[in-house]
Amino acid sequence: MNSWLVEKEMNALRIDKFISERMDGVSRSYIQKLIKDGLVTVDLKPVKANYKVNEGERVEVALPEPVSLDIEPQNIPLDILYEDKDVLLVNKPKDMVVHPSAGHLDGTLVNALLAGPTQGGLVSPFPQGLSLQSWELEDGLLTLNFSEQYGGLADISLTLADYCLVLTLSQVEGVDTVQIQSAGHTYHSRSHQTMKADEVLTDQSLPEEDLRPSGEEN
């Protein structure tokens, strides 16, 4: 439960803007959904998104419990416009959901992408049988809990898998940093447990030869 007392300088501010200035990594659209779902109250009473707060009022936000999802790779045909070791350009059908959520637990773009690359010579950085057991987004930190197969990665294989996830998921609205776990455990061998896209892009620890597809020569 998040709770704030409205101060004088915040008087007459819209409720969604008031909350967005106090909850990092949470979009205005998500806040408006919380309001619509009755999870935002002012002095214990639900309000509408256009409500303007008044000095001395108590604003409370009850965030819903994170949904535990077991995301499995699925062999779903995709219209691949371009694919190399760094970039995948997909002509996504307009009715295809991007990622699993309540009411759309499978058949999504993420399920299809987890199945691995379609082009010969490209190697997926993720081990066979890997699945996402749960995820949680709180204050801009996205925590991913994969199955035990992720725990078998090490050295350059672990780094490549980590960086693929961080660079991709950091583009999702509300995600600032990513933490990756395997079967509920973190990697103590990592220099830091949370990763940001800008840190990944400036990391000099990956030599160029480690980023080439297997079999490619100088």
Q: What is the pLDDT of residues 132-188, one digit of tens each?
A: 888 888 888 999 999 989 888 888 788 888 888 888 888 788 888 999 988 888 776
Q: What are the sequence ranges of the domains in the chain?
A: 2-61, 80-211
Q: What is the pLDDT of residues 116-134, one digit of tens each?
A: 776 665 667 788 888 988 8
Tokens of 123: 């190697």
Q: Superfamily assignment of 2-61 in CATH?
A: RNA-binding S4 domain (3.10.290.10)
In the chain, the percentage of residues whose pLDDT exceeds 90 is 27
- The reported pTM is 0.44
